[in-house]
Chain A
């Protein structure tokens, strides 16, 4: 049984048209890291909000890690799903980094030992050690983004949803993000990364779902997603830099640097 499943999900914003065309969005995701890509307005962020019950579908079923989302409150979903908004300022409100990261597990009434462990691990993994007492709004955008990610991880959820995590991140920070995402995936968590950053998809996400105009156009291994030029164009996806280079010199398709170098040496 898939860990996340959506079955014929229909949704529209008040006064708006259907985000997902008839007969609705159906999608199954398993554990590991999956990238969710597609043009602005494709329905990516809407999908993630449906997964945590922040938005409710008009019809259709959504199951996340054994929970029927329609029968679960947003607060209860938070035990299972760690979520970061695209804009960190939408979710930061405490006065220190430590308080912010602690907020989730504290409100979820986790045992104090679990809270301490989760918070310490999240702060370390997100490179925030030494900044525990800083006010989140005294940090730059990139670091506020990390505070939001740490907050999502602190409750040790089995599902992690990251909306545009690489936005505004410099190179060392992207590397840390890559390591973090891959580690979460290898621990058997379900990690969903919404992103326009295709190089990050190639480096860190073994699976990819392509949404275009609210419909799933591809779901499968990332390595196969970037070969179909027509699909990329339709979904407004930029080809990877390594893929472009491989094509330019007549190599077979590659989606990350290690693959490129191995193919080139052969």
Chain B
């Protein structure tokens, strides 16, 4: 059995002065090397889940944490975010909030994390080059981070995380600002990272994408986990269909109607619909 990478045990969390918890009764074990997709409607608690795993909640946001969040063997209460950031990287939903604001060039921004952790200069240079190359922003090295487009900024934010060589990546809608070509390129990078054994937790609304990429999906609604399992198992559950929505392939099969189990991916869907009915 694999080592656990991210473990939530009976976790509840309320932001400061919030009347109720943003997430409640979260029990979740993600093993090292897994690629887990997290989805659910607005206010489901997806971003909060990421902030908790990173330790920003409660260390930065304050608020009230119940239960235990353990990442790579250390409970979040027992480790500062700055120490956590050597092994765990969180990509914020809005890349603008990610850039340091303290660096005037893209390559310097990518170097910011390793510099803060006292990585040797030669090593930093190697990591920065590699990270920028991976996400396709090498040509932007000399630009000012705040002059970049939303899509470019999102790639920069990811490169900054990769320069830290994290073991766990928490990605809150990593391609929300990107066009299809940019999205495909980033997912290819993530696939490579997944193959190399990095644990990825990825919040994503595009269910078709999620089903193609992630072997496991966690569906959340109003702060709780509604379903957790293989894509087809998750989206064949009526309660998920009603409250989270469905990949287009599943929706088509249901409206057709085809018999269950309903497909969630293109290949299964093509098989299920087969040749047209005469």
Contacts and interface: CB of A to CB of B under 8 A. Distances in A.
Instruction: Report, nearest first, the 4 A-B pairs whose CB atoms are least far apart.
Output: A171-B245, A238-B180, A248-B270, A170-B41
Interface in A222-255: 236-238, 241-242, 244-245, 248-251
Interface string B248-278: 1101100110000000001001100111110
Nearest to A199: B248
Interface of B: 40-43, 47, 93-94, 96, 149-152, 173, 176-183, 205, 207-208, 244-246, 248-249, 251-252, 255-256, 266, 269-270, 273-277
Contacts of B150: 86-87
B266 A244 contact: yes
Interface stretch (A50-58, A68-76, A150-158, A258-266): A258-266
B172 to A, nearest CB: 10
Interface string A145-174: 000000000000000000000011111110
Contacts of B251: 257
A188 interface: no
Nearest to B181: A236
23 contacts: A39-B180, A40-B178, A40-B182, A41-B149, A87-B94, A87-B150, A140-B43, A143-B42, A167-B177, A169-B205, A170-B41, A170-B245, A171-B245, A171-B246, A196-B178, A196-B180, A236-B181, A245-B270, A251-B276, A260-B252, A261-B255, A263-B276, A264-B276
A39 B152 CA distance: 13
A236 B207 CA distance: 21
Contact of A39 (B179, B256, B269, B276): B179
A188 B93 CA distance: 36
Nearest to B247: A241
A179 B150 CA distance: 27
B275 A257 contact: no
Contacts of A96: none
